[in-house]
Amino acid sequence: MVDSSSIDVLQPVLILLPMHDFIEIPLVKKFKFLKAFEAEEGRDQFLEKHAEIIKVILCTGFTPVNAETISKLPRLECVIAVSTGVNLIDLDACRERSVRVTNAGTAYSEDTADYGVGLLMDVCRRISAADSFVRQGLWSANRDCPYFGSSLGGKRVGMIGLGNIGASIAKKVASFGCEMSYTTRSQKETVPYKYYPTVLELASNNDVLVVCCALTKETTHIVNRDVMLALGKEGVVINIGRGPLIDEKELVKCLLNGEIKGAGMDVFENEPEVPKEFYGMDNVVLSPHSAPLTPESLENVVELSIANLNNVFAKRPLLSVVV
């Protein structure tokens, strides 16, 4: 990795929305944060006031960076995202202005992959449901546990997306004796798993779908009702990508009607709002978009962000470039 030592003078970095302390605290020591969300005069006036000195926007995966914002910053050179997903950044507007965009690269990959495997194991073996059974005192009341899970080994697992995270999940899940397959925009010649050209075909030939592709206009609701019905009554859906990749309303209906067996959800369409129907389902495991969050992965992304920020100001090549 490029040397990430701090430059001598604190350079200005625009922050549009608050960042996690794990990220902000080490970065604020090395760069001058211009916090638009704290501006008393309003955001537009703040951007106008600092427009001539802003070269970089630092943002999370929850921060919209739209064409209007980009147009207000004539000297903007780069948008650095501390997330893997960049779906809230207007990439077309960035291309038009020759503004570069970077993301978290592989900083979160292994920990997110571990979490995806954990969700899959939990749904299949009914771990959270059994935990709730014990916590409610039902076991000590001499009742037999009704939560019989199913083996993970031998299941057919289809990956929607096979980037860094998807490839890591596939490798880990394959070690349980699962039969792996995948769909992506194009077949990967060096991948040993079976390729299906459409999500519908992938669902028809698998017991589990793991959703971890990027969110774009084309992939919004890539898992729709037809896909869920193709997966079938014994099917399981795991989503660690982005909430809108799944048609959430149809997922609720399919689960309520027994048209699929279960789901593990770390992301949702309207976070932090979660469909209330999920709360009463013991075959659904819910998680608050926390798959990538470990001290180790946050340390990785801080190191990467510092390197990219330094490289922007030093006019060196960027790492983890998206655009």
Q: Select which of 50, 125, 221, 289 is catalytic.
A: 289
Cβ(201)–Cβ(227) under 8 Å?
Answer: no
Told to judge if 289 belongs to the known catalytic residues of this protein, a careful annotator would answer yes
> Residue 10's CB: how many other CB atoms inside 10 A?
13
Q: What distances in angstroms separate CA 142 from CA 81, 130, 139, one per listed residue?
A: 52, 14, 6
Strand pairing partners for 194? 181
Q: Select which of 100, 110, 126, 242 is catalytic.
A: 242
Q: Select which of 38, 52, 271, 296 is catalytic.
A: 271
Told to judge if 299 belongs to the known catalytic residues of this protein, a careful annotator would answer no
Q: How far apart are the first and last CA of the chain?
A: 19
Rg of the chain taking only CA atoms, in angstroms? 22
> Of the candidates 253, 250, 283, 280, which has an alpha carbon nearest to the alpha carbon of residue 265?
283
Q: Give the pairing type, strands 100-102 and 284-286.
A: unpaired
Burial per residue of 247-257, b for 16 or more beta-carbon CB atoms within 10 angstroms, e otherwise: bbebbbebbee
Told to judge if 179 belongs to the known catalytic residues of this protein, a careful annotator would answer no
CA distance 120 to 264: 7
For residue 263, what is the enclosing H or E element?
strand 262-265
Cβ(266)–Cβ(119) under 8 Å?
Answer: yes
Amino acid at 74: P
Q: Which residues are catalytic?
A: 242, 271, 289
